[in-house]
């Protein structure tokens, strides 16, 4: 039997969008973590995923680049379209998907034994690029893109982990940028950072979205309101409401959304 849902936040035509999530469901063993999630993301925008702890934000963002399937016991059904191609189609190479959709994690995780330079260059080298000049260029461009170049240009040989937390997170962003992704997925990228370092990353997101599309998980609602164009509110594995950020925060349709954004639970 097929039920014809009117999908919250989802168009029927994936061609207008950079990313389209259609009827995505996910399980850990027999426990369902995501229940029929559908929404669309336009190119050169920032989309925020918000909701209380355990509602499925991390699971969802990890399903978007097929990282979730690397977790033992995890399974996924449904589709994620990237430029109108279903990344879960059997013909799609998950390695290529991860290259096109970079990920930045909650805790800055530079490669601990590597210099600042090599942290950014590692992916290129791994992909067989040997041209030193080209690598130099990409390293500089990526560090500039992550607003870190001016702070580290004279000490590129220093260990990545010698930097401050905020700098380490920007180094991780530079490392992701070096692969020239089209999408940047960020899972609570500032939750381990102080307010000044967080503000820097927020400012950076605003610059980066000119060149790519950003999807960010945040439990900081002020941050979602500041940085995002669209917001998805999740609760218990469901996408409760999705829409323009201003609407979600100022005039939500669902009472549950209103209660969450006004801090009545969380």
Which lies closer to ligand ADP via its Cβ, residue 60 or residue 201? 60
Handedness of CA 32, 242, 55, 211 (dihedral sign): positive
Residue 229 tokens read as 């164009």
DSSP H or E run through 225: helix 221-227
Choosing from 20, 58, 68, 213, the residue that interacts with Mg ion (CB under 5 A) is 58
Residues 90-129 that bind ligand ADP (CB under 6 A): none
Contacts of 5 (CB under 8 A, 6+ apart): 36
Q: What is the DSSP string of 122-179?
A: HHHHHTT---HHHHHHHHHHHHHHTT-HHHHTT-TTSBGGGS-HHHHHHHHHHHHHTT
Q: Strand, helix or coil at 81? A: strand
Span of 36-44, 49-57, 134-142, 199-207 interacting with Mg ion by CB under 5 A: 49-57
Instruction: Please report how close the Cβ of residue 118 comes to Mg ion at its closest, in angstroms.
Output: 29
Question: Which of Mg ion, ligand ADP, none does residue 201 bind to, with CB < 5 to 8 Å depending on kind?
Answer: none
Binding residues for ligand ADP, total number by CB under 6 A:
11
Can you tell me which of 16, 44, 71, 262 binds ligand ADP, judged by CB under 6 A? 71
> What is the number of the residue whose Cβ is closest to Mg ion?
58
What is the number of H-type helices and E-type strands within the chain?
A: 10, 10
The interface partner of residue 110, options being ligand ADP, Mg ion, none and the CB cut-off 5 to 8 Å by kind, is none
Residue 71 contact among Mg ion, ligand ADP, none, beta carbon within 5 to 8 Å by kind: ligand ADP
For the segment 7-66, give every residue that binds ligand ADP (CB under 6 A).
Answer: 28, 33, 51, 53-59
What is each CA distance from 158 to 19, 97, 126, in whole angstroms?
Answer: 38, 31, 21
Binding residues for Mg ion (CB under 5 A):
57-58
Binding residues for ligand ADP (CB under 6 A):
28, 33, 51, 53-59, 71
């Amino acid at each position: 039997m097929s039920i014809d849902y009117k999908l919250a936040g989802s168009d029927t035509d994936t061609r207008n969008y950079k990313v389209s999530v259609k009827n995505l469901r996910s399980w850990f063993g027999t426990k369902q973590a995501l229940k029929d999630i559908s929404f669309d993301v336009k190119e050169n925008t920032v989309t925020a995923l918000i909701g209380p702890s355990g509602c499925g934000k991390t699971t969802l963002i990890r399903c978007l680049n097929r990282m979730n399937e690397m977790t033992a016991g995890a399974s996924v059904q449904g589709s994620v379209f990237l430029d109108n191609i279903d990344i879960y189609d059997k013909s799609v190479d998950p390695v290529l998907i991860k290259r096109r959709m970079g990920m930045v994690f909650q805790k800055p995780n530079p490669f601990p034994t590597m210099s600042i330079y090599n942290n950014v260059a590692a992916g290129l080298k791994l992909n067989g690029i040997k041209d030193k000049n080209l690598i130099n260029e990409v390293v500089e461009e990526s560090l500039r893109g992550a607003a870190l170049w001016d702070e580290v240009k004279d000490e590129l040989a220093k260990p990545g982990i010698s930097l401050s937390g905020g700098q380490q997170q920007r180094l991780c962003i530079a490392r992701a940028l070096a692969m020239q992704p089209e999408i940047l997925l960020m899972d609570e990228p500032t939750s381990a950072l102080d307010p000044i370092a967080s503000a820097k990353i927020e400012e950076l997101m605003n610059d980066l979205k000119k060149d790519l599309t950003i999807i960010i998980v945040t439990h900081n609602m002020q941050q979602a309101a500041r940085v995002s164009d669209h917001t998805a509110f999740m609760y218990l594995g469901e996408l409760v409401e999705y829409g323009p950020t201003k609407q979600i925060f100022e005039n939500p349709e669902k009472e549950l959304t209103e209660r969450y954004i006004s801090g009545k639970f969380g």
